[in-house]
Amino acid sequence: MHKRTLLQATAFAALLATGTLAFAQAAPFKIGLILPMTGQQATTGRQIEAAARLWMAQNGDTVAGRKVELIVKDDTSLPDVTRRLAQELVVNDKVDVLAGMGITPSAMAVAPIATQSKTPLVVMAAATSSITEASPFIVRTSFTLPQVSVALADWAPKNGIKSVVTLVSDYGPGIDAEKYFAERFQFNGGKIADKLRVPLRNPDFAPFLQKVRDLKPDALFVFVPSGAGAAVMKQFGERGMDKAGIKLIATGDVTDDDQLNDMGDVALGVVTSHHYSAAHPSAANKKFVEAFQKANKNLRPNFMAVGGYDGMRVIYEALKKTGGKGGGEALVAGMKGQVFESPRGPVFIDAQTRDIVQNVYLRKVEKKDGQLWNVEFDVLKDVKDPGKTK
């Protein structure tokens, strides 16, 4: 035993002398951040890239003696491109971590690459429940649609809403939102008058909203991905839905902080449930919003930015835990169980599911100092994703 330690020490000294170890440690730690910088989800890419750069500006680009390099790639919101870029980043650039993933189909396309190459994949935006089950190397810092939809289905029947039509984008997160909202609302005695699904690409909401008008439910529940909310809000107003006595309720993706301030008074009073509001009243969030706006020509950060910012923290902390060494399995182990205060509130990464556990807030759109905000009025603490099968 003693002899072996001595031998190891001698080998270590020799390695140091030749400079091999020093060289190995000097190799940068590469994060391949794949985002939709153009195309339908471009605002998601812009928000997450800005947040990742803010994190690095505030926390430095050296972790445990290792230089961190961020490589940003634009997948144009197309999953086939995400897959190709992930392959190139792993094989050619030899990235230590993959991150980003603006939409669910992108995360699903990259999951097998993460598994085969044992590369951690930090999902900062996509929010279908099943994503974390697609690879043991996936860790999520965004949210899930079941997580945020259930709170609203509990709130609605207690607030005079007895019948609802659901309207969702026709893909993973929309189907999750529809299922978990409807099941919980019906469990609470509510009636679902219809379930409508609109295409993800270039949706025209007009015919769907006409149908809702004819059905005349107490409320319309909506999920559309970040960036599409303003169009829904505009057409909801133009068709006089609110005047016909139909309330709009939604996940916070619809009253997205990236767009909310430009939506106008039609958004006033809309109740949503979500995990992040730029108006979240904590010191940590005030500091985050101020710094983000200062670095980005006054752009207001949205929930995507927070997913990116926290994703960088999770990567930095994991790298620290490995003493700067990295390694796919060691990094994922270092990500599991992390507990910290995010701008959204307290969060932790569930070691079993690798998914984020966080508060879900009920919010109402209000005008303050001439600006529209999602103002939180109630909270469900430490919500796990209810969509997990295990």
- Within the chain, strands assigned E span 29-35, 62-63, 66-74, 97-100, 121-123, 138-140, 163-169, 191-198, 219-223, 247-251, 271-274, 339-342, 345-349, 356-368, 371-383
- Pick the closer one to ligand DHB by CB: 173 or 311: 173
Binding of residue 167 to ligand DHB (CB under 6 A): no
Q: Which residue number has the CB closest to ligand DHB? A: 225
Out of 97, 99, 121, 126, point to the residue binding ligand DHB (CB under 6 A).
126
Shortest distance, position 18 Cβ to ligand DHB, whole Å: 48
Q: Which listed residue (47, 76, 128, 272) binds ligand DHB by CB under 6 A?
A: 128
3-state SS class at 39:
coil
Applying the rule CB under 6 A, the residues between 67 and 86 that interact with ligand DHB are none
Query: Does residue 225 bind ligand DHB (CB under 6 A)?
Result: yes
The residue range among 73-81, 124-132, 276-284, 376-384 that interacts with ligand DHB, by the rule CB under 6 A, is: 124-132
* Cross-strand pairs, 378: 362
Among residue numbers 94 through 113, which ones bind ligand DHB (CB under 6 A)? 103-104
Of the pair 170, 366, the CB lying nearest ligand DHB is at 170
Spatial CA neighbour of 117 closest among 390, 327, 356: 327
Select the residue interacting with ligand DHB from 76, 132, 226, 359 (CB under 6 A).
226
* φ/ψ of residue 17, rounded to 5: -60, -40
CA 284 to the chain's CA centroid: 19
Closer residue to ligand DHB (CB): 119 or 129: 129
Query: Is 176 exposed, middle or buried, given 0-12, 13-18 or 19+ CB atoms closer than 10 A?
Result: buried
Q: Which is nearer to ligand DHB, 172 or 217 (CB)?
A: 172
What Rg, from alpha-carbon coordinates, does the chain have? 22
Residue (172 or 190) nearer to ligand DHB, CB? 172
Q: Can you give the length of the chain in residues?
A: 390
Among the listed residues 120, 157, 173, 190, the single contact to ligand DHB using CB under 6 A: 173
Tell me the CA distances in angstroms from 316 to 86, 114, 124, 284, 311, one per residue in order. Answer: 20, 19, 14, 18, 9
Q: Is 36 in the site for ligand DHB (CB under 6 A)?
A: no
Q: What are phi and psi of 61, to 5 degrees?
A: -115, 25
Taking CB under 6 A as the criterion, which residues in 305-344 touch ligand DHB? none
Minimum Å gap between C-beta 305 and ligand DHB is 12
For 193, the token pair is: 């008058």
Q: What are phi and psi of 288, to 5 degrees?
A: -65, -50
Binding mask 229-268 for ligand DHB (x = CB under 6 A): ------------------------x---------------
Q: How far is the CB of 173 from ligand DHB (least distance, A)?
A: 4
User: Residue 371: what are its φ and ψ, rounded to 5°?
Assistant: -120, 150
Question: Where along the sequence are the contacts to ligand DHB (CB under 6 A)?
Answer: 44, 103-104, 125-128, 172-173, 225-226, 253
